[in-house]
């Protein structure tokens, strides 16, 4: 992923109110290893149920406000992140909803999906088993996972941007 500035991030959001944008806290951008990410995702330290995803789409950054559901899956139940397709304990996957862009979102219309609670999908897809005769090249595996993650993120974004 190409690096982003604070200004680029703040200008990228499509489904957020001015007040929410004003109150948004950013992660430490100087700490991010940009080349190991498909998207920048973080939870708001001041509003625990709010999260944000920003990524490059058609040559420009696009940002989505997402909101975590208040409840979690029962302990002992497994779940799978829709974006990275990593099976995890249910408490580590959360239902996030995103207000639709435009008037539909203002009127309360949302789109939901299950995503890793910490929004760390880019890290998870890079965990690969050791290379063996049964296992493909780790770099090829990561590239395939990254492509799938990006495709699924694009599909979710399309749902948020869809009018009607």
pLDDT of 163 reads: 66
Residue 107 lies in a domain: yes
Total number of domains constituting the chain: 1
Q: For residue 22, what are its two tokens? A: 């004003």
Residue 56 lies in a domain: yes
Residue 39 lies in a domain: yes
In 100-162, DSSP assigns E strands to 110-116
Q: Determine what percent of the chain is predicted with pLDDT higher than 70.
A: 98
pLDDT of 138 reads: 86
Range scoring the smallest mean pLDDT among 71-75, 83-87, 154-158: 71-75
User: What strands lie across the sheet with 93-99, from one edge to the other?
Assistant: 40-44, 47-57, 60-68, 93-99, 110-116
What is the value of pTM for the model shown? 0.91
Q: What is the pLDDT of residues 110-162, one digit of tens each?
A: 999 999 999 999 999 999 877 777 777 888 899 999 999 999 999 999 999 98
Q: Which residues, 6+ apart, have CB-to-CB distance to 113 below 8 Å?
A: 82, 83, 95, 96, 156
Residue 1 lies in a domain: no
Residue 150 lies in a domain: yes
Residue 58 lies in a domain: yes
**Of the candidates 48, 53, 44, 68, the residue with the CA atom closest to the CA atom of residue 15:** 53
Residue 18 lies in a domain: yes
For 58, the domain range is 6-161
Beta strand 40-44 pairing with 87-89: unpaired
């Amino acid at each position: 992923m190409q690096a982003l500035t604070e200004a680029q991030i703040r200008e990228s959001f499509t489904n957020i109110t001015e007040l929410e944008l004003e109150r948004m806290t950013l992660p430490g951008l100087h700490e991010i290893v940009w080349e190991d990410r498909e998207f920048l995702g973080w939870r708001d330290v001041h509003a625990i149920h709010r999260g944000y995803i920003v990524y490059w789409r058609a040559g420009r950054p696009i940002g989505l406000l997402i909101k975590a559901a208040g409840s979690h899956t029962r302990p002992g139940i497994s779940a799978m992140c829709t974006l990275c397709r990593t099976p995890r304990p249910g408490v580590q996957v959360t239902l996030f909803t995103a207000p639709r862009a435009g008037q539909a979102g203002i009127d309360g219309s949302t789109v939901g999906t299950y995503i890793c609670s910490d929004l760390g999908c880019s890290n998870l897809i890079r965990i690969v088993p050791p290379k063996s005769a049964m296992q493909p090249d780790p770099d090829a595996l990561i590239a395939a996972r990254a492509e799938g993650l990006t495709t699924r993120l694009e599909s979710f974004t399309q749902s948020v941007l869809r009018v009607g």
